[in-house]
Structure 1
Amino acid sequence: MNIIIDRASSRGHANHGWLNTYHTFSFANYFNPDRMQFGALRVLNDDTVLPDEGFGTHPHKNMEVISIPLKGKLRHGDSLNNSHTITRGEIQLMSAGTGILHSEYNDSSTDNLEFLQIWVIPDRINTEPKYKDYDIKPLLKHNEISTFLAPETAISIMQQAWFSWAELDRGTSREYKFKGQNTGVYVFVVEGEVKIGDTVLNRRDGAGITDTEAITMEALQNSTVLLMEVAQ
């Protein structure tokens, strides 16, 4: 098993006042040649947005964009005339394809919005752009590693990618078996503390794991973890 550890404290960081953001991989003004991507996983941003603030209309092209709210209300708008607000337990998927304009705002006037924005490089380009949001709560099981996004299912992206969510009580151990070929899994600890092999990961730490067929994850505290298996 090969493991690359990205500590929370080593991420890129920018505070724009209305936006406090951390970048696991090179993004915007943060450039680290050793932290460009993990296989097809190109961006993992951890954003906190002040009330009534957000990202104005801006373009994307040939990128799969996954947004996962952790706290608060995330409002999306785009050039396909979609306008939706989602909260924790829901996700939005946007396939930018030939090009799309979109905006993302905090839909609350009182509470901060916290969400993860993830970009995955697609396995084909110049496709028709599209957007959809999903309620994934029925797919999530407590004390299990629950896959909510996978190829050839109702919730999928244009890439060999499997996303899973785990909310584990302290002392719980679960095995994750790799689902694809020539893939790696990126483990991101949203909250808590977990152990994989001899490696302990704390809140907002990440680890890219390859050259194995399975990993066992033990929760050292009550923990929430996002696992992203992607083509390498």
Structure 2
Amino acid sequence: MMKTILHKANERGHANHGWLNAYHSFSFASWYNPEKIQFGMLRVLNDDTIAAGMGFGTHPHDNMEIITIPLEGDLAHKDSMGNGTIIKSGDIQVMSAGTGIQHSEFNPNHDQHTKLFQIWLFPKFRNVEPRYQQITLDQSLQKNDFAQILSPNPDDAGVWIHQDAWFYLSDFDADFSKKLSLKKEGNGFYIMNIEGEIEINGEKLERRDAAGIWETNEIEIKANSSSKFLVMEVPMEQ
């Protein structure tokens, strides 16, 4: 029997630090909600706006798969593996923190903010060698389709991580609908609606609403207006 949980945009945790305006889908930092700890192996989904010229100082991570998807503007990245890059809207970045990394992220522009999703998944394996990957996505593939942007397989489309997860970005026209099947039995879907309004099995998601759906092998997503959204297929158990 299919199970669904709805996470409305206005129910997320919120912290405005001035330089950082952050919305948390799951418990993070000083915001704790016992009913929103994680969805399967998805532990963090932060919707961050970073002010011009500001950012996160050097800080550590370990044993987490960390995915960054810029939505607007640029993000400068430096890490203890020697990477120093700029990621932009249309890119995706992943770090396997593994045995431990340190990194910093900041908005290099002095005239515009940067918006991004930062997503953490628990890894399939602990204490892996840290790694970094960044690619530019072909956004044309997202038009009225599920464009794969992440998988467990280095040879597949998108970036890869140490977890049996698949991510898709989509840009649907109004009234377009399409079905998506699980890649791995027992996984679940977590859908974040970025812009517009979509409908999944009769449940409407407006801007920044999200839904978790599991114990089903397939979902159908219909766009009620021109919409952009992120679908994350994740293991429900390790």
TM-score (norm 1): 0.98
Q: CA deviation at 1:197?
A: 1.0
Matched residue type, 1:8: A
1:167 aligns to 2:171 (yes or no):
yes
The residue aligned with 1:112 is: 113
Q: What fraction of aligned residue pairs are identical, expressed as a percent? A: 47
d(CA) in 1 for partners of 2:219, 2:12:
24
The residue aligned with 2:193 is: 189
Contact persistence 1:139–1:148 (CA under 8 A): no
Contact persistence 2:42–2:234 (CA under 8 A): yes
The residue aligned with 1:95 is: 96
Contact persistence 1:139–1:147 (CA under 8 A): no
1:52 aligns to 2:56 (yes or no):
no
Structure 1 stretches of at least 4 aligned residues deviating more than 3 Å after TM superposition: none
Matched residue type, 1:206: A
The residue aligned with 1:27 is: 28
Q: What do residues 107-136 of structure 1 show as CA deviations (whole Å, max 9, x unaligned)?
A: 211000000000000011111111111112
Matched residue type, 1:131: Y
Segments of 5+ residues of structure 1 without an aligned counterpart are none
Q: What do residues 114-173 of structure 1 show as CA deviations (whole Å, max 9, x unaligned)?
A: 000000000111111111111122672311111121122342100000000110011100
d(CA) in 2 for partners of 1:129, 1:140:
30
Q: 1:220 to 1:139 in 2, by over 3 A?
A: closer
Q: CA deviation at 1:9?
A: 0.3
Contact persistence 1:167–1:222 (CA under 8 A): yes
Matched residue type, 1:101: Q
TM-score (norm 2): 0.95
The residue aligned with 1:204 is: 208
Aligned length: 232
